[in-house]
Structure 1
C-alpha cells in the first residue's frame, strides 16, 4: 500500500513538472549527453520559430548556436556533464532561430541525474535579453561618442557641478591652462577665472538658470598666473544622472591681440563687428556669403572678391563681386594644385604682392596682379585680387581674417542649427518627415495655397498586414519594411511634396500645388509597390498599401482635421475592400 501511494505521488509530481515545463514563460531545453535536444517547451519553440518536432533530436550546438561560439560553449557543456571543477551555471550567449536571426539568451543551467545518480544530460532555462543588450550597446556607443567628442575637441571643455567646482576636463583644457593630468578636478571656478572677471561667473549662472545657455568673453588665468582672453559658452546638461554645467572655453588671445594691434583701424573693426552681428542674424548659408562679401567690399574696400565653399571634394564658387565677368571664379577639385586648394588644405592666409610670389596661383584674368587668399575656417576660401601690384598689407589680411572668423562661426552655427532642426523634423527610422514637422508646415502651406490659388492633395497610406509582419518575422523585419516603403514613397513624388511618417505603419503625403493629380500619384505608388514586390526579399508575401485620398481647395472652409479624417476614412475603405475581396 505504501509503495503504491509513493508511486502515485511520484506520477502526480512528474505530471505537474511536465505541465510546468510546457507552460513556463521562459525557454526551457533539455539536452542529452551528446548535446541533442530531448525536450523543449512551448516558449522555446516560439522563440526559435520552429515546431517541437523540428527541434527535438537536433544537435543543439550545430543547429542553434552561431559557429563562432560552438566550440567554447560545447566545452562548457562537457565540463558541466563531467561534474569536475567549478562551472558557471549562469551565462549569456547568442542563439540562432530557425530563420537565422540571432537572439541573446541569459541561461541558468543544471545537470540531470537518473535514479542511480548518473548525470544523463542538462536542463537550461533562458530569458531573451536581446532588447536589453541592444539598449546597453546603444548606451555604450553614445558614451563613446560623447567621450570622443569631449576628448578630441580643440577647445577646452569643462564640466562644473552646481557649486562651481570642476568635475571633468578634457585634455585640451589641461594643455590650455598648464595643469598636469587630474589637477583641475575639484578646483573651484575662481581658480581659473581672473579676479577682475570673476563677477562674470554670477552672470553665467544666472543666464543658465533663466535661459539655459550662456556665451561671453572673459579673461582666465593659467596655473602659472598668466592671464589670457577666452570665449566662454555654456549650458546646463545632465552628467552621471545629476544636473551640471557644460562649459566650452576657446582661447582667443591671438584674436584679441590682433584686434588691439588694429586700434588704428578702429572704425573698420567697429563696422566689422556690425557685419558680424548681421552674420549672426543670417539664417541661410547664401545670406552669410553675401553679407561677408558686402563687408569685404564696403568696409575693407576690396573691389574684387570671391567666396568658394567646399562641397564634397570641390571648392565651388558661391559669391563674387558685382561686375566680375563670368568665369572669374570657377569650381576646382581639392586634388588640383592651386592657391585656393593650398589655402584650404593648410588653413593659412597668403598675401602676395605679385603673381611671381605664388607660382601655384591660377588667375582667371590677366588683370589680376596681387591679392589675398584666406581660409574660411574649414568651410572654404575667400580670395581678393587687384589690378595693381602690392595693393594689400598685413593689416588687410588681419582685418579679413577677423571678418572670416565671424563668417566661419556663422556658417558653423547655421549648419549646426540646420542639422538639429532637420533631426527634430525627421523620423529616425525611415528618414521621412515626422508628424511634428507636418503640424508646423501644414498651416503655412494653407496660407500659401490661398495666396496663389493652388489646391493641396493628401494621401493617407497604411501598410497592410503590418502587425502580422511584426508578429511573424520580428520588429527588425518590420522596421526594414517601413524603411523600404518610405524610400518607395519618396521616389514616387516630387521633391517639393512632403512625405510624413504619421504614426506606426501609417504614412501621409502632402502634395503641394496639385491639380487633380492626387489619384494619379496614388496609382503610381500602387504600381511601384507591385513592381517592388517582384523582387521583395524581406518577407514571403507581397507588401501592399491601403491608400486614401483627400483634397483641399483654397476656397474650402474645411479644417485640416476634417481633410485628414476624409483621407483616413477612404484609406480604411480601401483596406476593407481588400479584406472583403
Structure 2
C-alpha cells in the first residue's frame, strides 16, 4: 500500500516545477548509518585493546583487526555516496577519518607486540595515544551525522512548504494504509498466529522434556510441514543430547584416569597455551600446574640446556608435520635443579590448511631407566677398555711397550686424568724407575729414581695401598711425590698447568707390587673422586697380570744378558750392542766411544777383605759408571773387576769428560765406605772412538784395552785415550 502511495505522490507532483529528490534522503540516511557503524567499531576497538592488556588473549587481536577492516569498509561506503560537488567537505572529513583509523590500526599492532614482550609501560603509552585519536574522531563523526540529519529535514520540509496539496494527499494515503493494515492483522491472527501458538506450545513442552506433545495444525500445508520438521528436529536433538551425555561420561571417566595415572598427560592449544596438565606433572617436575601454564618461558626452565637444540628440532618437526616415529626422550630439569629424563608420545592436530592447532600427548619419567642404561653403557665401556688393557699389555713385545700401552688405555678409561707415568721396581738397584710417560716431560721424568718408602710413590709401593691427594700443600707436607720429584711434573704442552690432583696406585698381583701408576690432573677445579679410585683399582687389577707377565719375560731375557752381581749387562751383550751401534753409526754418520776400565789394586783388596767386601766394591764401581751415563748408553761388566761401556753420539773429548766423572764418582763412593783398606782402590780406564781411532769392532776393543793398560802403567793413573 505504501508503494501505491508513493506512486500517487509521483503522479500528483509530475506537473510541478520542483520535484522531491528522493535520492537526497536516501544518501543522507545511508551516510548517517555508516557514521554510526564507524563510531561503534571505534568503541569496540578501544575495549578490545583494554581487555588484551589484562589477558594477553591473541584471539582479541584478531577481533581488533576484523573491526579495523569493518570500519574501513564503512568509511569507503560513505565516501562512495558523496557524488555531488556540494559533498566535497564531507569527502575531506571522511578522508581524515580514514587516516586516523589507519593510525589506530598500526598503533594497535604495536600494543600487541609490546604487551607480548612484557613491555607493559610502553604498551600503555601507545594505548593512551589510541584513546586520544578516538576521542578526536568522535566530534568529527557527530558533526557529519548532524549534517546528514539536517539534509534529511530540509528535504522533508520542502514537501509542506512548497506543495500543501501533496501533503494532504500523503495524509490521506497514510489513513488508507492504516485501515488496510488493521484488516490484514485480523486475517493474520486467524491464519498465522493460531498455528504459531500451537507450535510454540509444542516447543515449550519439548524443552521441558515432554517429547510426546505434538502441535495440532490443520488447514495449512505449510504449517503441517513445519510441525513434521519440528518432530524430526526433536528426535535429532534428543539423540544429540544422549550422545553428548555419553561423551561427557566418557570424558569424565578418562579425566579421572588421567588425574590418577603416574604418567604425564597434557594438551596444548597454540592460541590458548597449555589447556590441560594432570597432577603427575607436579610430582615428576616439581612445578605447579599454575607455573606450567604461565607461558612459553616455562619451557626454558624445564628443558635442560644440553637439550635445547634437540627440543628446537622437535618443535620444528611438529610444526612442519614431520613427527618422528616412536617416543621422544628429552633431558630435563626438576624444579630443584636435579636432572631428569622424560619420554614423550606426541599427537599433533592440524587444520585443513595443514597448520598446527593443538598438541596432545603423554610422557613418562624415565630417569631411573636412563641411569640404568647409562650405568650399563659405562660398564660395557669399562669392560671393553679392560679387554683393551689386557690385549694391549699382552700383545707388547717388551715390558716398556706393554707399560706404555697400559698407561694409554688407563688414561682413556679415566678422562679426568690428563697425564701420568708408570714405574717398575729394579731389583738390582732396589729402586723404582720410569717405564712409560704420557702427557708429561718424558726427558725429565726418565731421570726419576725412587727408593721404596720415599715420598708418595715409595710409600704406595711399600704399603701396596692406593693414595690420593687433592691438595698439593697436603702432599708436600706428607713428603711430596718423591725426593726432588715434584718439579718433574711438567705438562708436555706449550703452557704447562699446575697439578691439581694426584693419585698413586700400586701395580702387582696380590700383595707383591712390582711398580706404581701415577696419574695427574691439571685443569683448574678438576679433582679425582672416590669412584675414580674404584675404577683405577679395577683397571690395575686387570692389567696387573699381563704387565707382570711382560715384566717376567723381560727379566728372563735380561737375566741372559745381565751380570747378576752388578746388574750391568754382560760381556756377550756388550759385543752384540757394539756391533749394532757401529752399524747405526755408519748409517747416520755419528761417533761411538768404547771404554774399558778396571779397579786398581782390587786383587789384593779381595784377598785381604774377603768376598763380601769385594762384591760391595764391584757394585759401587758399577753404580759409579752407570750413574754418569745416559739412558741410551750401555754399561757392562766385562770380566772380574773389568768394566766396559759404549757411549753413543760422542767424540773422544766428550768421552774423556765422562771417564773423568766416572773416576771421581767411584772415588766418592769408596770414601763413603769408610774402609781404610779401600783407600788404595782407584779406577783406571782407556777408550777408543769410532771412526777416529778405528772402524772395525775388534780393533776398537783392542785399542781401548791397550789404552787401559797404558793408564795403569802411568804414574798419574788418569784415564787415557789411545
Q: TM-score, normalised by structure 2?
A: 0.29
Higher helix share: 2
Q: TM-score, normalised by structure 1?
A: 0.35
**Structure (1 or 2) with the larger CA radius of gyration:** 2
